[in-house]
């Protein structure tokens, strides 16, 4: 649109193929540039050519959306085709152009010359009406096209139809044709070398100025005149979308508002008691605004979903700005008390903003969330509710992979090139692309590699495909398919709109986010286990508020597995922040974010907290806003309030600021906001350093900071996870392992951490393990606490249905031998049995107490070779009672400890036995290598040597090239900091070795321990390969 | 029964070292792959000790300061052939076990060389003469000899009956078995051949089948099998080192004729014919033609070598015909330096025995056709003779030249002819392409051509249609053409003395090559 504006064009039309995918962004961009955005679409007919349709009226838009929906929903994904019958009664409000080379006229002329072309135009006139058909001319300097144009002009004269000149524009500038060619070859699964004439003939499909077009069609001025006149017929814009939020059905005699009021006050009494004037005041204020904005229906619909979840025992919690609302709290949508926490309601809902409020619901990921989604579909009908889409753009690796494919790199080269891109968040001055390419074995002087890089940079952020948003749903009163076309999603029973979540919001379509949160599933599973095994029903809403055990754990940074506060960065902050109350957890969740880190707010806050510097405000006028965070702005709300007070922003301007902060890409918007801020502060007399500090605080949040309400919602979940970990370790660990992948650490680290906290973890055993991890009684009652039995889901390569068959068969009758297992679960493959045997899961099926993993392996190799049809029956009858052979005279050597470790990590990614380093502690001690727990007693600055399995490698963009390593040994986790130079020197060792020995000086900053590495060596203790969480 | 095995460890590396003896004592890495990515596929122990790992890229390997060479399959083949020669030099019964391994039946050789130990030493000496560092073992069974050679450095002689004991300490990796089988054995904790020999045979056969039994027998030293004698190959090669380098074609033809006679005689002796002939000249180095690929896509080749391949449509054994074909090839693309070594190698196959069908269409004699084609190629250049095939591209006139193959299908009569209504259809407009396009000068006014200077004549443009723009291949050899169809008027001309002057006019297709900024005529319309 910018190029369009440069050419001085007043309007433009976008005709997406079989949809209106780009319409909202096109509309927004046009609005910004002060241009008119016309909507249309190219609909693919069953014959392969495309109708080019422009929307003239709202009815036309609705017809277009419905037709697209109809064709999409009746076919497989991406295969919908339109028929002439589809236009019956649906052509009103649409203008049909005869199209370019893929249009109906071109196709007809190609097949049957003039007679067929005339017939085609006659048919179009019958479908759309003579006054709505235009004969389209395009000129791309192509002989065949020109011949077609001459035929089209002849037909237009014969039928007395208007000519229009268009350009079939695909890109703004000629050089972008390269990208179009790349996309063409990718779409056809070809390389550029083999795409041949599928590629563009030339680079003429770029945006051309009116003067250029007039010159091109100098012989046909009426076509230009008609093109200029056509927009006057296109009355419809997306402003006129006609979206309406559904009304909630209320009992007769009641209104939506009244019904909401009743539900809210019922909830208020439950939450605050009958006599809480502050809460009542707040709720009344909010209800008044909700009524004024005509939003009761929206709250009731969300409340209805919450009610459904509660009734079906689905854990649900609202997050985001909804946590600022006392009405949401009273309705049970959120769990944070905004009155007590003095949260800013305006952040959630304001009269000025003129947009729908945003309520995000966290649900347990998996089936439970799907149930909630299906409930919304059921309630509003398939054409009344849909998931929002997610525009997936080309980013780092995906871009590299696809561009490499088009350039015909072989798979290995492709793999290496893709790995190169986006490997590191941070790049220092020496970390040039040339160097990175050279390190990976490529030379940027190679023309293909250079073109690869050029195209990769060009393709960044361009849309790749339309995915389904993880949880955003839109609902509509009446038919959603007349607002935006719907498509079938890849997942069964789901439909998805053609617009991105943000685009829906921009178009004023209300959405409800039903987000799947792994930790919610962990909480739900933990509660189930506690209820069923411990026989102690607990309610997350009534957990003890200030449990000392939790705060002790947090202060020691003993937080592996706890929601949002377990990462290495969080752990390094916890001993300094020393959380002592719930609000401290809210701060902790919010402080380790790029916003506060880049804004240099972390250290001032920690220093003030420890009394090392005075809690001064940036400006006295901001005292009220910043006092609770010791004068340091940490939350989005504070920044908005700062802008309102210090720079006199209105609520609407503050909202603009918030939206600018929400998008990484809006640097331009932030600059505009900064000018406004400074101007506002000048007026209020805030100048110099104070002004700079305020601007710095606000703009740095563009790199993302948390709203307080969101942090509070997350802090609640963090507190709940901490509570469960501290008091119900077995249940919590089992639930964590059963919901993996989630969180920061690998299952191996979670298991080792739980073991260090006293949990007995039992290995996988086909005689008692389920598919998931389960709890078992302790060996002796006095041993106390449950044991955790690892589930078969951790056996790599074992199919779930096989594991479940094993469990089912076992419940009927215990297995007595491996052979019997093989006979009763015939689908089990040899590789699956081998994996089970290698990790010792078949040991208890042996015929003697000394039966070991290799004995099992010996037996499965026999069991997997069937005797053949003749002897199968005999074998089956014997198999149940006897092992296949009695060659007891010979014995395989049991696996060594090392072999067991290697097998455990290879097949499970973890071990239930001791940590690999535990076997080597004595020799490590002899070499002066300290364990993680030994470091506790070492003075700051002392030279130390530590060793461990690398469980995390981080190189955050905010850390100037430093690399942070987490090393795990049998006593805990130690941290090491690698300076950029050392990293450069020992790059291969640090990145590729699983176990490291690090020498350096210990830094002890208020009990946050880390070793500043001076030398790094690989540690050859085992061939077991633990997984590491790298560079995410 | 007695057998000896010669095994060349790190075969890829040793093959390269054989041709570059200077590399023998230091580290060396061998790389292979598709450009721009080359990986280390082999390295000698010195390089591995320096920290190099297989799978590293060329750039990473070079960081170790270790010499890196591209894998040379031809060197490996040559090394293998030399190894076989060494074997055949000692015993007529040789088995070509693997590229890096040969086995010799040494029964009866004691009278020539002495004890088994002496024989093994002699074999090691012969292999060392080839520039290789071999591992040699002798035993009473083939497999014991092979595995001992693979497992032990230097020379090993296993006394009869002690095979099991001698092999027991060897790791199971020396076994010639599939990766999966080795993995199974490792899973059982079987690390050595001794461990494998200790397993009970019957249960082992139930698990690993016949393969298990075979491996067990090898480990127990009881594996007996017959030697699989290497059959002489179908690859025939003749070479001639020249004392004085040859520059002229005639003396070269004389030498080539002699070599071809020898080759054909050898082929005749085996009742074979020649399917393809590989010609290679080693050239004088001071005439070295510099070869540098801009894209570095192609591995730098030895520029001192000149090679040609003569592929024949049917197997032949006619030395004269072959010589003629070679002469034509050499005349159209002569070597740029004098020749000091000639190599001719033949790919052989059974001679043509079929005869044409009674009703099959007459086709030219393949030998004659080949000769004619070679003559044509000499006249117009190799790249300009054959059957053209249009390419799938927008690039105007792009085609690929395939080997000429006369169509076996008789062209069908056109539908118009069949109906008998000749001349009723609208005649097709013809276009005569001019290859290569002729450069011209064009005067432009208002972005349109107004005058064209072609072969010394000036034509006025009386009508023009265009520009028709095409461009493509932007990712490699990009091109960009802007075409016009122009009607040109060159005035009048007189065809014959005394005849009436006639207007000299024509419709031409001209284009501007955007990359070169020059104009050309692509062709004329009839």
Q: In chain B, which residues have their Cβ closer than 8 Å to the Cβ of A441? A: 36-38, 57-60
**What percent of chain A is modeled with pLDDT above 70?**
93
**Distance, first Cα to last Cα, chain A:** 35
Contact present, A839 and A903 (Cβ < 8 Å) = yes
Query: Across residues A115-140, what is the average pLDDT?
Result: 95
User: Residue A64: what pLDDT?
Assistant: 96
Residue B213 has pLDDT above 50, yes or no: yes
User: Residue A886: what pLDDT?
Assistant: 47
Q: Tell whether B131 lies on the interface with A, counting CB pairs under 8 A.
A: no
The A787-789 sheet, strands edge to edge: A760-762, A787-789, A774-776
Q: Tell whether B514 lies on the interface with A, counting CB pairs under 8 A.
A: no
Contact A854 B188 (CB under 8 A): yes
Distance from the Cα of B463 to chain A's closest Cα (Å) equals: 16
Query: Across residues B382-391, what is the average pLDDT?
Result: 84
Given pLDDT bands bounded at 50, 70 and 90, which one contains residue B272? confident
Given pLDDT bands bounded at 50, 70 and 90, which one contains residue A865? low
Among the partner-chain residues B34, B36, B188, the one whose CB lies closest to the CB of A442 is: B36
Query: Across residues A793-810, what is the average pLDDT?
Result: 95
**What percent of chain B is modeled with pLDDT above 70?**
85
If you measure CA to CA, which chain A residue comes closest to B180?
A: A831
Query: Across residues B307-333, what is the average pLDDT?
Result: 86
State both tokens at B257: 């004729």
User: Residue A872: what pLDDT?
Assistant: 53
User: Residue B423: what pLDDT?
Assistant: 43
Q: What is the mean pLDDT of chain A?
A: 87
Residue A438 has pLDDT above 80, yes or no: no
Among the partner-chain residues B33, B188, B296, the one whose CB lies closest to the CB of A892 is: B188
Tokens 């000896």 locate to: B4
The A36-44 sheet, strands edge to edge: A11-17, A36-44, A50-55, A94-97, A133-138, A163-166
Among the partner-chain residues B36, B203, B469, the one whose CB lies closest to the CB of A887 is: B203
Contact A899 B189 (CB under 8 A): yes
> How far apart are the C-alpha atoms of B450 and A980, rounded to whole Å?
66
CA A898 → CA A795, A913, B196, B260, distances in Å? 19, 12, 21, 65
Q: How many CB pairs under 8 A join A and B?
A: 110
> How far apart are the C-alpha atoms of A320 and A713, rounded to whole Å?
7
User: Residue A964: what pLDDT?
Assistant: 92
Report DSSP letters for A343-390, one per residue.
--GGGT--TTT-S---EEEEEETTHHHHHHHHHHHHHH-TTTEEEEEE
Query: Across residues B400-411, what is the average pLDDT?
Result: 71
More confident residue, A597 or B288: A597
Given pLDDT bands bounded at 50, 70 and 90, which one contains residue B292? very low
Which residues lie below 8 Å from residue A782, measured CB to CB, with a gap of 6+? none
Contact present, A518 and A420 (Cβ < 8 Å) = no
Residue A116 has pLDDT above 60, yes or no: yes
Kindly report each contact of residues A211-220 with a partner whose C-beta sits within 8 Å and lies 24 or more positions away, as own/partner: A213/A165, A213/A167, A216/A139, A216/A165, A217/A137, A217/A139, A217/A165, A220/A137, A220/A153, A220/A163, A220/A165
> How far apart are the C-alpha atoms of A564 and A742, rounded to whole Å?
11
Residue A701 gets which letter from DSSP? G
State both tokens at B235: 């690859």
Tokens 């080792």 locate to: A752
Contact A441 B472 (CB under 8 A): no
Contact B470 A196 (CB under 8 A): no
> How far apart are the C-alpha atoms of B120 and B106, rounded to whole Å?
9
Of A340-354, A840-854, A893-907, A1004-1018, the one with minimum mean pLDDT is A340-354
CA B508 → CA A949, B404, B431, B455, distances in Å? 76, 31, 9, 13
- Quick: pLDDT tens for A185-228: 999 999 999 999 999 999 999 999 999 999 999 999 999 999 99
Distance from the Cα of B471 to chain A's closest Cα (Å) equals: 5
Given pLDDT bands bounded at 50, 70 and 90, which one contains residue B427? low
Of A825, A558, A827, A599, which is closest to residue A699 (Cα–Cα)?
A599
Of A431-440, A809-818, B428-437, the one with minimum mean pLDDT is A431-440
Which residues lie below 8 Å from residue B185, measured CB to CB, with a gap of 6+? B172, B196, B215
> How far apart are the C-alpha atoms of A982 and A320, rounded to whole Å?
42
Full 3-state SS string of A50-104:
EEEEEECCHHHHHHHHHHHHHHHHCCCCCCCCECHHHHCCCCCCEEEECCCCCCH
User: Residue A367: what pLDDT?
Assistant: 86
Q: In chain A, which residues have their Cβ closer than 8 Å to the Cβ of B207? A: 858, 861-862, 865
Q: Which of A355-359, A712-716, A899-903 has the highest mean pLDDT?
A: A899-903
Distance from the Cα of A139 to chain B's closest Cα (Å) equals: 10
Across the strands, what pairs with B10? none
Q: Tell whether A439 lies on the interface with B, counting CB pairs under 8 A.
A: yes
Contact B474 A178 (CB under 8 A): yes
User: Residue A884: what pLDDT?
Assistant: 42
- Quick: pLDDT tens for B113-131: 889 999 999 999 988 887 8
Of A25, A92, A22, which is closest to residue A57 (Cα–Cα)?
A92
Contact B393 A862 (CB under 8 A): no
> How far apart are the C-alpha atoms of A496 and A506, rounded to whole Å?
17
Report DSSP letters for A623-653, one per residue.
HHHHGGGTT---SHHHHHHHHHHHS---HHH
Residue A887 has pLDDT above 70, yes or no: no
Preferred mutation among B36, B293, B480 to probe A, highest tally of A CBs within 10 A: B36
User: Residue B422: what pLDDT?
Assistant: 43
CA A272 → CA A248, A267, A279, A327, A906, distances in Å? 26, 8, 7, 12, 54
Q: Tell whether A416 lies on the interface with B, counting CB pairs under 8 A.
A: yes
Contact present, B175 and B182 (Cβ < 8 Å) = yes
Q: Per the omega criterion (within 30 degrees of 0), is the bond before A889 cis?
A: no
User: Residue B299: what pLDDT?
Assistant: 41
Query: Across residues A580-585, what is the average pLDDT?
Result: 92
**3 state SS of B171:** strand
State both tokens at A693: 């500090």
Q: Which of A291-295, B262-266, B490-494 has the highest mean pLDDT?
A: A291-295
Of A4-13, A736-745, B341-350, the one with minimum mean pLDDT is B341-350
Of A201-205, A386-390, A701-705, B29-33, the one with minimum mean pLDDT is A701-705
**What percent of chain A is modeled with pLDDT above 90?**
53
Distance from the Cα of A198 to chain B's closest Cα (Å) equals: 8
If you measure CA to CA, which chain B residue comes closest to A145?
A: B468
User: Residue B328: what pLDDT?
Assistant: 87
> How far apart are the C-alpha atoms of A110 and A96, rounded to whole Å?
20
If you measure CA to CA, which chain B residue comes closest to A902?
A: B187
Full 3-state SS string of A939-973:
CCCCEEEEEEEEEEEECCCCCCCCEEEEEEECCEE
Query: Across residues A337-366, what is the average pLDDT?
Result: 81
Tokens 């015993």 locate to: B91
Q: In chain B, which residues have their Cβ closer than 8 Å to the Cβ of A838? A: 187
More confident residue, A356 or A178: A178
Q: In chain B, which residues have their Cβ closer than 8 Å to the Cβ of A451? A: 475
User: Residue A667: what pLDDT?
Assistant: 64
Q: In chain B, which residues have their Cβ closer than 8 Å to the Cβ of A854? A: 187-189
Sign of the alpha-carbon dihedral angle for A357, A362, A363, A369: positive
Q: In chain B, which residues have their Cβ closer than 8 Å to the Cβ of A861? A: 184, 207-208
- Quick: pLDDT tens for A312-325: 989 898 887 888 89
Of A46-55, A335-344, A425-434, the one with minimum mean pLDDT is A425-434
Contact A854 B393 (CB under 8 A): no
Contact A862 B391 (CB under 8 A): no
- The length of chain A is 1032
Tokens 């096109």 locate to: A26
Q: Tell whether A854 lies on the interface with B, counting CB pairs under 8 A.
A: yes
Query: Across residues B12-23, what is the average pLDDT?
Result: 80
Query: Across residues B441-466, what is the average pLDDT?
Result: 92
Which residues lie below 8 Å from residue A785, measured CB to CB, with a gap of 6+? A729, A730, A758, A759, A760, A778
**ipTM for this model:** 0.71
Q: Tell whether B428 lies on the interface with A, counting CB pairs under 8 A.
A: no
User: Residue B243: what pLDDT?
Assistant: 62
Query: What pairing do the DSSP bridges indicate for beta strands A163-166 and A133-138?
Result: parallel
If you measure CA to CA, which chain B residue comes closest to A858?
A: B188
> How far apart are the C-alpha atoms of A951 and A1008, rounded to whole Å?
18
Contact present, A354 and A239 (Cβ < 8 Å) = no
User: Residue A97: what pLDDT?
Assistant: 96
**3 state SS of A231:** helix
Please name the residues between 177 and 236 in chain A that touch chain B, using a CB distance below 8 Å: 177-178, 181, 192-193, 196-197, 199-204
- Quick: pLDDT tens for A898-949: 999 999 999 999 999 999 999 999 999 999 999 999 998 899 999 999 999 9
> How far apart are the C-alpha atoms of A997 and A1015, rounded to whole Å?
8
CA B165, distance to chain mean position in Å, is 46
Residue A372 has pLDDT above 60, yes or no: yes
Q: In chain A, which residues have their Cβ closer than 8 Å to the Cβ of B298? A: none
Contact A893 B466 (CB under 8 A): no
Residue B290 has pLDDT above 50, yes or no: no
Q: What is the mean pLDDT of chain B?
A: 82
Q: Tell whether B429 lies on the interface with A, counting CB pairs under 8 A.
A: no
Q: Tell whether A885 lies on the interface with B, counting CB pairs under 8 A.
A: yes
Q: Where are the beta strands (DSSP E) in B129-265?
A: 135-139, 155-157, 235-246
Contact present, B460 and B488 (Cβ < 8 Å) = yes
Residue A751: CB atoms within 10 Å: 26
User: Residue B416: what pLDDT?
Assistant: 45
Residue B467 has pLDDT above 90, yes or no: yes
């Amino acid at each position: 649109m910018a190029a369009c504006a440069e050419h001085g064009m007043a309007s433009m039309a976008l005709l997406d193929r079989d949809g209106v995918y780009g319409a909202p962004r096109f509309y927004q961009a046009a609005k910004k540039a002060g241009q008119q955005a016309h909507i249309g679409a190219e609909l693919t007919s069953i014959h392969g050519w495309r109708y080019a349709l422009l929307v003239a009226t709202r009815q036309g838009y609705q017809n277009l959306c419905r037709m697209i929906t109809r064709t999409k929903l009746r076919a497989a994904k991406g295969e919908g085709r339109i028929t002439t019958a589809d236009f019956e009664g649906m052509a009103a409000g649409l203008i049909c152009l005869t199209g370019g080379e893929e249009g109906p006229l071109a196709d007809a002329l190609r097949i049957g010359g003039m007679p067929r072309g005339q017939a085609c135009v006659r048919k179009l006139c019958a479908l759309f009406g003579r006054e709505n058909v235009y004969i389209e001319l395009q000129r791309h300097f192509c002989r065949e096209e020109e011949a077609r144009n001459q035929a089209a002009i002849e037909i237009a004269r014969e039928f007395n139809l208007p000519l229009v000149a268009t350009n079939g524009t695909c890109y703004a500038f000629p050089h972008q044709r390269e990208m179009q060619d790349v996309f063409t070859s990718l779409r056809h699964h070809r390389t550029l070398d083999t795409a041949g004439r599928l590629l563009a003939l030339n680079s003429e499909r770029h945006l051309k100025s009116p003067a250029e077009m007039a010159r091109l069609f100098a012989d046909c001025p009426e076509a230009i005149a008609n093109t200029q006149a056509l927009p006057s017929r296109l009355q419809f814009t997306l402003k006129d979308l006609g979206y309406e939020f559904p009304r909630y059905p209320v009992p007769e005699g009641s209104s939506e508002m009244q019904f909401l009021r009743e539900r809210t006050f019922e909830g208020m009494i439950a939450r605050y008691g009958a006599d809480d004037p502050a809460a009542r005041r707040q709720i009344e204020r909010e209800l008044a605004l909700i009524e004024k904005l005509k939003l009761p229906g929206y709250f009731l619909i969300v409340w209805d979903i919450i009610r459904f979840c509660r009734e079906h025992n689905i854990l649900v919690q609202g997050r985001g700005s909804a946590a600022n609302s006392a009405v949401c709290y009273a309705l049970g949508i959120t769990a944070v008390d905004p009155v007590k926490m003095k949260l800013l309601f305006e952040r959630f809902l304001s009269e000025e903003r003129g947009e729908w409020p945003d309520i995000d619901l966290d649900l347990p990921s998996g089936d439970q969330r799907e149930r909630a989604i299906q409930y919304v579909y059921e309630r509003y009908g398939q054409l009344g509710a849909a998931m929002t889409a997610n525009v997936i753009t080309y980013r780092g690796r995906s871009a590299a992979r696809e561009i490499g494919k088009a350039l015909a790199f072989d798979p290995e080269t492709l793999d290496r090139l893709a790995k190169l891109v986006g490997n590191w968040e941070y790049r220092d001055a020496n970390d040039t692309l040339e160097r990175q390419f050279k390190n990976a074995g490529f030379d940027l002087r190679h023309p293909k590699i250079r073109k690869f890089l050029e195209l990769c940079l060009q393709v960044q952020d361009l849309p790749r495909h339309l995915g389904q948003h993880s949880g955003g749903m839109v609902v509509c009163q009446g038919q959603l398919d007349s607002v935006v076309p719907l498509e079938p999603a890849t997942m069964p029973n789901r439909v998805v709109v053609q617009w991105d979540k943000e685009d829906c919001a921009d178009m004023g379509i209300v959405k409800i986010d039903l987000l799947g949160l792994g930790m919610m599933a962990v909480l739900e599973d933990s509660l189930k286990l506690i209820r069923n095994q411990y026989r102690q029903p607990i309610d997350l809403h009534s957990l003890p508020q200030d449990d000392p055990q939790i705060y002790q754990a947090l202060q020691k940074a003993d937080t592996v597995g706890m929601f949002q506060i377990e990462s290495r960065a969080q752990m390094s902050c916890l001993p300094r922040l020393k959380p002592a109350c719930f609000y401290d957890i809210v701060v902790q969740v919010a402080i380790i974010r790029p916003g506060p880190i880049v804004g240099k707010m972390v250290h001032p806050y920690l220093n003030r907290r420890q009394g090392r510097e005075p809690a001064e405000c940036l400006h006295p006028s901001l005292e009220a806003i910043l006092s609770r965070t010791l004068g340091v702005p940490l939350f989005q709300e504070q920044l908005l309030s700062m802008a309102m007070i210090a720079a006199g922003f209105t609520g609407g301007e503050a909202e603009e600021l918030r939206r600018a902060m929400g998008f990484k890409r809006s640097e331009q918007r932030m600059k505009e906001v900064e000018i406004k801020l400074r101007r506002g502060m000048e007026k209020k007399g805030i100048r110099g350093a104070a002004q700079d500090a305020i601007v710095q605080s606000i703009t740095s949040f563009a790199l993302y900071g948390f709203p307080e309400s969101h942090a509070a919602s997350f802090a609640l979940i963090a507190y709940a996870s901490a509570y469960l970990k501290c008091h119900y370790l077995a249940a919590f660990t089992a639930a964590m392992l059963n919901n993996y992948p989630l969180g920061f650490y690998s299952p191996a680290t979670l298991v080792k951490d739980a073991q260090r906290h006293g949990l007995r973890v039992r290995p996988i055993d086909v005689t008692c393990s389920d598919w998931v991890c389960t709890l078992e009684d302790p060996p002796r009652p006095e041993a106390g606490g449950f044991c955790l039995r690892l589930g078969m889901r951790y056996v790599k390569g074992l199919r779930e249905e096989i594991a479940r068959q094993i469990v089912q068969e076992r419940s009927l009758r215990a297995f007595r031998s491996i052979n019997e297992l093989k006979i009763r679960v015939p689908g089990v493959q040899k590789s699956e049995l081998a994996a089970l045997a290698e990790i010792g899961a078949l040991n208890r099926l042996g015929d003697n107490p000394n039966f070991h993993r290799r004995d099992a392996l010996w037996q499965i190799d026999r069991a997997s070779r069937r005797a053949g049809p003749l002897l199968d029956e005999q074998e089956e009858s014997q198999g149940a009672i006897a092992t296949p052979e009695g060659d007891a005279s010979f014995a395989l050597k049991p696996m060594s400890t090392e072999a067991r470790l290697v097998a455990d990590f290879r097949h499970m990614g973890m071990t239930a036995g001791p940590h690999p380093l535990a076997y080597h502690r004595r020799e490590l001690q002899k070499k002066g290598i300290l364990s993680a727990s030994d470091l506790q007693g070492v003075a700051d600055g002392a030279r130390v040597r530590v060793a461990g399995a690398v469980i995390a490698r981080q190189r955050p963009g905010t850390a100037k090239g430093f690399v942070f390593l987490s090393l795990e040994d049998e006593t805990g986790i130690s941290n090491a900091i690698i300076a950029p130079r050392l990293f450069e020197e020992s790059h291969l060792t640090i990145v590729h070795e699983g176990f490291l020995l690090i020498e350096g000086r210990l830094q002890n900053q208020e009990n946050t321990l880390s070793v500043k590495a001076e030398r790094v060596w690989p540690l050859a203790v085992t061939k077991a390969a633990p997984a590491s969480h790298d560079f995410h | 029964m007695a057998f000896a095995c010669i095994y060349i460890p790190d075969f890829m590396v040793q093959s390269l070292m054989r041709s570059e003896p200077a590399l023998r004592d230091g580290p060396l890495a061998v790389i292979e792959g598709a450009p721009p990515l080359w990986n280390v596929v082999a390295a000698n122990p010195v390089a591995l000790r320096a920290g190099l790992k297989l799978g590293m890229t060329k750039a990473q390997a070079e960081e170790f300061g270790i010499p890196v060479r591209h894998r040379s399959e031809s060197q490996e083949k040559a090394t293998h052939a030399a190894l076989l020669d060494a074997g055949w030099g000692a015993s007529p019964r040789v088995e070509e076990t693997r590229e890096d391994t040969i086995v010799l039946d040494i029964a009866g050789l004691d009278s020539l060389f002495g004890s088994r130990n002496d024989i093994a030493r002699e074999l090691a000496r012969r292999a060392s003469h080839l520039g290789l560092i071999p591992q040699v073992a002798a035993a009473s069974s083939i497999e014991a000899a092979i595995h001992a050679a693979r497992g032990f450095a230097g020379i090993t002689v296993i006394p009869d009956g002690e095979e099991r004991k001698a092999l027991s300490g060897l790791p199971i990796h020396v076994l010639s078995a599939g990766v999966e089988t080795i993995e199974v054995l490792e899973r059982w904790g079987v690390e050595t051949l001794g461990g494998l020999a200790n397993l009970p045979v019957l249960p082992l056969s139930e698990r690993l089948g016949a393969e298990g039994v075979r491996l067990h027998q090898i480990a127990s030293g009881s594996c007996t099998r017959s030697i699989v004698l290497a059959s002489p190959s179908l690859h025939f090669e003749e070479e001639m080192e020249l004392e004085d380098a040859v520059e002229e074609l005639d003396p070269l033809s004389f030498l080539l004729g002699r070599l071809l006679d020898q080759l054909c005689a050898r082929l005749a002796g085996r009742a074979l014919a020649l399917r393809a002939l590989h010609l290679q000249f080693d050239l004088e180095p001071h005439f070295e033609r510099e070869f540098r690929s801009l894209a570095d896509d192609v591995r730098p080749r030895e520029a001192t070598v000149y090679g040609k391949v003569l592929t024949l449509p049917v197997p032949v054994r006619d030395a004269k015909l072959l010589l003629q074909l070679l002469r034509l090839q050499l005349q159209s693309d002569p070597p740029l330096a004098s020749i000091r070594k000639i190599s001719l190698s033949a790919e052989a196959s059974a001679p043509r025995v079929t005869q044409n069908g009674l009703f099959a269409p007459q086709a030219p004699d393949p030998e004659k056709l080949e000769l004619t084609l070679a003559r044509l190629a000499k006249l117009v250049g190799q790249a300009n003779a054959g059957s053209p095939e249009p390419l799938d591209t927008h690039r105007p006139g792009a085609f690929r030249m395939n080997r000429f193959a006369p169509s076996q299908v008789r062209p069908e009569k056109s539908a118009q002819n069949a109906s008998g209504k000749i001349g009723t259809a609208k005649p097709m407009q013809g276009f005569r392409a001019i290859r290569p396009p002729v450069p011209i000068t064009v005067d432009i006014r208002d972005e349109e051509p107004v005058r064209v200077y072609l072969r010394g004549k000036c034509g006025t443009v009386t009508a023009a249609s265009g520009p028709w723009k095409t461009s493509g291949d932007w990712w490699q050899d990009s091109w960009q053409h802007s075409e016009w169809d122009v009607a040109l008027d060159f005035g009048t001309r007189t065809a014959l003395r005394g005849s009436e002057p006639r207007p000299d006019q024509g419709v031409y297709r001209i284009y501007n090559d955007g990359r070169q900024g020059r104009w050309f005529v692509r062709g004329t319309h009839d």
